[in-house]
Structure 1
Amino acid sequence: MEITSNPHIAIIPTPGIGHLIPLLEFAKKLLHLHDISATFLIPNEGQPLTTAQKTFLLAIPPGISYISLPPVNLDDLPSGTKIETRISHTVARSLPSVRHVVESLNGTQKLVALVADLFATDVFDIGIQLKIPVYLFFPPSASSLSLALYLPELEKTVSFEFSDAADKIQIPGCIPIERRDLPDPMQDRNDEAYGWMLHHIKRYRMADGLLVNSFKELEPGAIEVLQQQESGKPPVYPIGPLILTGSKSDDPCLKWLDEQPTGSVLYVSFGSGGTLSQAQITEIALGLEKSEQRFLWVIRCPNDRVSNAAYFDSHNSDDPLAYLPEKFIERTKNRGLLVPMWAPQAQILAHDSVSGFLTHCGWNSVLESVVNGVPLIAWPLYAEQKMNAFFLDKSLKVALRPKMGGNGLVERDEICSVVKGLMEGEEGERIRSRMGELKDSAAKVLGENGSCLQILGMLGEKWKNDVQ
């Protein structure tokens, strides 16, 4: 069988739209810059595609294709198994399918690299056995990658729970972080999720390179440390900010934004996987109402057990609006828009009417905010989001962070105060100014001579030269 002449890469993401988005942008840029085509091998744990995933797949351009791998069975996992464990098992149980597809691609394409997501490092063995260069794509921040590479050493020096440490944790290249803001798997070293996290991290050094979705002007300390040469550490390529791009949407919420004054709307969203308790939804609603600010709120049905219930299952058929306080919609109809389940976030944050973002601090959302210069209210829910919130607040100083009450809720008065502070207050103006500076830096990075295209160009040339 004849092998096509153009270079090709295989990309193995982990489940979840938040990881698919930057990987697609990465693939699109390689296709545009170097005519390197790509095939996504998408693990499947048996759930139907979400609205966000369907939208993502429809946006794939010619030259990039995807294969949905056969679903795996996770019924043997205990109830309450953490998300990192579920993702890792999904990938591990998909390895025979990954091998079959990669071997097939390798027989028909000039396969120059296998790119795996941060919880998909088990596929490295397949690439190494087939003599295909393997790369890690790290969707979160450079600070998170710095922590990951430091964790095996940190684990040796802290014999007890990290949350019991007397001092803040010093991550190389970052300001010391509060123990409570470390990523979720680090909060319980006895849970299987921590074991999986450590398993993958120890395999990062098997890669030929580490691709991180960030840029030096955003995280100078962390990236400087990451790019220092060290025996056994792969080169680190800061290729961000990679954020969702595409044609302009005609979604009704954008038409509503067109009717609002410039810089007047607070966008509220907890991402594609985030969920809140019924009591917390009530407090947010009443806090927004009390603030008297315009808002666009993407709302999901509540979950009183876990904060990431929608990550694997967003198919709750209930109406999210039914969980709002009585007559809330009627009372706020002249200044608020409620959108069930999903909205075109990238276009919303780029809209002139939007002047603030109450966010769960997923890294995609952070980068989209930075590129558009939108200041933040940081409300983390799970994974590494608390760590992102900490650095956005304490290091970058582009976010306000509401305080939780003794009852475990962020209460309506606190929400009102923080929202008004961001949208009207002096501190909000300082944050807006600082975010404007980062927006300018991001524009330069994404420009024709910026580091994003330069590093991707260097990487593309390397892959093409490796196979000549």
Structure 2
Amino acid sequence: MEKTIVLYASAEHLNPTVALATFISTHYPTVPITIISTAVSSAVASTPPSVTYRRLPDLSPPQTPIKNHVEAFFETPRLHNPILRAALEEISQKSQIVALVLDFFCNAACQVSAALGIPTYFYITTGALGVAVLLNFPTLVETVDADIGDMNEYLQFPGTPSIHSSDLPEIMFFRGSNVYSHFLETANNMRKSCGILANGFDGIEIRLKHAIENGLCVPGGVTPPLYLVGPQIPKLNPVGDHDCLRWLDSQPRKTVVFLCFGRRGLHSSEQLRETAVALERSGHRFLWSLRNPPGNPTLSLEEILPEGFLERTKDRGFVVRTWAPQREVLGHQAVAGFVTHCGRSSVMEAVASGVAMIAWPLYAEQRMNKVFLVEEMKAALPLHAAEGGFVTADELERRVRELMDSNTGREIRRRVAEMKASAAAALGENGTSVLALHNFINDCCTRV
């Protein structure tokens, strides 16, 4: 009976899971891979022949209302457990499942894999930093009496710079919440798993990797094997022609600052105007992917931005409404800097393209990522926000000028250029990420 690998992804992390499946298939084209999820993604259409996609059906909403989207990310897989079990049993009739690889949000599936005796691994899209925080979280819970959300102090996770309590993901803040319980249960199941794959690579996370492998994140316990298999970057449908790419073609090399904040990165009208003031005063070329402020989806650019801004900056600026092809933009030779919300996929794209960053985190684990980007990787400048997260024009202008004009900025750009080479080497022949994949596959087959 042939061996097969099943990857189970939440809607939130389907694209990076597809990237992982493609990476595995590239090096093991004869190993069948099944991706299971409840979502639809354009990335699925471009998978290799050995990868198949199985979409789970939508279910009726639960009787108990789900409070927020993060809770929904955890609860949706739990509600799908009976359907997942039927799917895995059907797959097992034709092939031997040697690994069920779970997205972080699909933790509830551990109940199914345990019942069926399927070796279970986790795929952490936030890289080794996310792995270290998760593995160490049960220990933190045992040693700290107060809720993290009520604390005001720096915490030390092995292999990382000190992280202020307020910079941790909000789902870790309060013990009484459902998402906190999901987070803690996931951390404990990760400790008991067969192994952990992560979207990172040695060139940027070697100190974290050593801390995890040396057992520092699970004091007195057993740490599962860690496989750094990144950078994995989702390859969505290629964009051959876009107005902003044509505009970049006309710009000098390494002169443009790109601003983009992900699909959930929304700013208030006041913040958008402040951003425009900063870009105009900086004097530098810019490409800005701008989404309308919350609650105002139909406003025109003229209504959002300062009067006359578009006319005054037309020779050195380009504003894209809603969406820009981020991967293609970051890979363009005209782009020198990236103002980013610090989402993991965006960081990996920037590093793989050799683009220095200005860190403007907005939600989830992004503030934690900012600390690592600035203090450990030294690949970004920090933006300091006022109360409520507001960033002034003076602050953004100062950081754009620093990145583009100062010796500090030049050093960051040099470091990120080295990281670009390191990322390419990790995915090359005998690269560290390729070797990590070989070790994962060997572990799967040996375990079975």
For the criterion TM > 0.5, the same-fold answer is yes
For the 8 Å contact 2:32–2:50, the answer to whether it is kept is: yes
Query: 1:410 offset after TM fit, Å?
Result: 0.5
Pairing 1:340–2:307 present: no
The offset of 1:159, in angstroms, is: 1.0
Deviation, 1:464, is 4.3
The residue identity in structure 1 corresponding to 2:254 is G
Q: Could you tell me which of 240, 243, 254 is aligned with 1:250?
A: 240
Higher-helix-fraction structure: 2
Match of 1:286 in 2: 277
Q: Match for residue 19 of structure 2?
A: 25
Candidates 263, 266, 281, aligned match of 1:272? 263
Q: Secondary structure at the match of 1:395?
A: helix
The correspondence for 2:138, drawn from 149, 152, 162, is: 152
Note if contact 2:122-2:195 (Cα within 8 Å) is conserved in structure 1.
yes
Q: Is the 8 A contact 1:400 1:418 kept in 2?
A: yes
The residue that corresponds to 1:351 in the other structure is 332
Matched position secondary structure for 1:357:
strand
Task: Count matched residues.
Answer: 441
Partner of 1:312: none
The SS at the match of 1:361 is: coil
Rounded to whole Å, the distance in 2 between the matches of 1:65 and 1:317 is: 37
Query: Is the alpha carbon distance of 1:76 and 1:343 closer, same or farther for their aligned partners in structure 2, counting shifts above 3 Å?
Result: farther
1:374 aligns with 2:355: yes
Whichever residue aligns with residue 403 of structure 2, its letter is: L
The corresponding residue for 1:310 is none
Task: Note if contact 2:337-2:357 (Cα within 8 Å) is conserved in structure 1.
Answer: yes
**Displacement of 1:385 after TM fit?**
0.5
Q: CA deviation at 1:27?
A: 0.8
Are 2:55 and 1:60 equivalent residues in the alignment?
A: no
* Matches of 1:303 and 1:125, distance apart in 2: 39
What SS class does the counterpart of residue 105 from structure 2 fall into? coil
| Cα deviation digits, residues 137-170 of structure 1 (max 9, x gap) | 0110312211111111111111112244464101
User: Residue 78 of structure 2 aligns with which residue?
Assistant: 92
- Per the alignment, in what secondary structure is the counterpart of residue 376 of structure 1? strand
Name the CA shift for 1:30/1:330 in 2 (closer, same or farther; >3 Å).
same
Provide the secondary structure at the position in 2 that maps to 1:438.
Answer: helix
Query: Counterparts of 1:317 and 1:73 in 2: how far apart (Å)?
Result: 29
Q: Distance in 1 between matches of 2:84 and 2:375?
A: 42
Please report how far the alpha carbon of residue 381 of structure 1 lies from its aligned counterpart in structure 2 after TM superposition: 0.8
Contact preservation (8 Å) 1:10, 1:114: yes
| Pairwise CA distance, 1:199 | 1.9
Quote the Cα distance in structure 2 between the aligned partners of 1:463 and 1:178.
38
Counterpart in the other structure of 2:9: 13
Q: Tell me if the contact between 1:85 and 1:193 (Cα under 8 Å) persists in the aligned partners.
A: yes
CA contact (8 A) 1:30 1:37 kept: no
The whole-number CA distance in structure 1 between the counterparts of 2:229 and 2:349 is 15
Alignment CA distance shift 1:408-1:460 (3 Å): closer
Q: Which residue of 2 aligns with 1:318?
A: 298
- The amino acid that maps onto 2:259 is V
User: Structure 1's 326 and 96: CA in aligned 2 closer, same or farther, altered over 3 A?
Assistant: farther
- The 5 Å alignment of 1:311-460 reads 318=298, 321=301, 323-406=304-387, 408-460=389-441
One-letter amino acid of the counterpart of residue 68, structure 1: R
The CA deviation at 1:458 is 2.4
* Percent of matched pairs sharing the same residue: 34
Question: Alignment partner of 2:377: what SS?
Answer: coil
Pairwise CA distance, 1:435: 1.4
RMSD, aligned CA: 2.3
Check conservation: 1:142, 1:212, Cα contact below 8 A.
yes
Deviation at 1:400, TM superposition (A): 1.1
Deviation at 1:208, TM superposition (A): 1.0
What residue identity is the alignment partner of 1:431? I
Deviation at 1:77, TM superposition (A): 6.0
In structure 2, runs of 5+ residues without a counterpart are: none
| SS in structure 2 at match of 1:61 | coil
Q: Which deviates more from structure 2 when the two are superposed, residues 189-198 or residues 144-153?
A: 189-198
**Match for residue 202 of structure 1?**
188
Q: How far apart, CA to CA, are the structure 1 residues paired with 2:149 and 2:446?
A: 47
1:359, distance to aligned residue in structure 2 (A):
0.3
Alpha-carbon offset, residue 250 of structure 1:
0.9
Q: Give 1:66's aligned amino acid.
A: Y
CA distance in 2, matches of 1:373, 1:77: 47
Contact 1:168 1:179 in 2 (8 A): yes
- TM-score, reference length from structure 2: 0.91
| 1:62 aligned partner, one-letter code | P
Question: In 2, Cα distance between the equivalents of 1:366 and 1:146?
Answer: 18
Superposition deviation, residue 317 in structure 1: 6.2
Task: Tell me the distance in 1 between the aligned counterparts of 2:259 and 2:423.
Answer: 23
CA spacing shift, 1:61–1:341, aligned 2, 3 Å: farther
Partner of 2:223: 233
Shift of 1:30: 1.4
Q: Residues 431-462 of structure 1, C-alpha deviation per residue, up to 9 Å, x if partnerless?
A: 11221222222222122121111111222234
Measure, in 1, the Cα distance between the counterparts of 2:63 and 2:400.
44
CA distance in 2 between counterparts of 1:333 and 1:9 reads 51
Q: In structure 2, do the counterparts of structure 1 residues 455 and 159 end up closer, same or farther at CA, with 3 Å as the change threshold?
A: same
1:76 to 1:418, Cα distance in 2 relative to 1, 3 A: farther
| Equivalent residue letter for 2:136 | Y
Q: Indicate if the aligned counterparts of 1:14 and 1:42 stay in contact, CA closer than 8 A.
A: yes
TM-score (structure 1 length as normaliser) = 0.88
C-alpha deviation, 1:136, in angstroms:
0.5
- 1:139–1:363 contact (8 Å) kept in structure 2: yes
Task: Decide whether aligned partners of structure 1 residues 77 and 57 sit closer, same or farther in structure 2, where only a CA change above 3 A counts.
Answer: farther
Match of residue 308 from structure 1: none
Deviation at 1:425, TM superposition (A): 2.1
CA–CA distance in 2 between the matches of 1:105 and 1:465? 20
Q: Does 1:217 align with 2:217?
A: no
Q: Distance between the aligned counterparts of 2:94 and 2:260, measured in 1?
A: 43
Q: Aligned partners of 1:390 and 1:202: how far apart in 2?
A: 25
Letter of the 1:13 partner, please give it: A
Q: Secondary structure in 1 aligned to 2:99?
A: strand
Letter in 2 for 1:116: L
2:155 is aligned, of 145, 169, 191, to 169
The verdict on how the C-alpha distance between 1:103 and 1:328 changes in structure 2, with shifts beyond 3 A counting, is farther
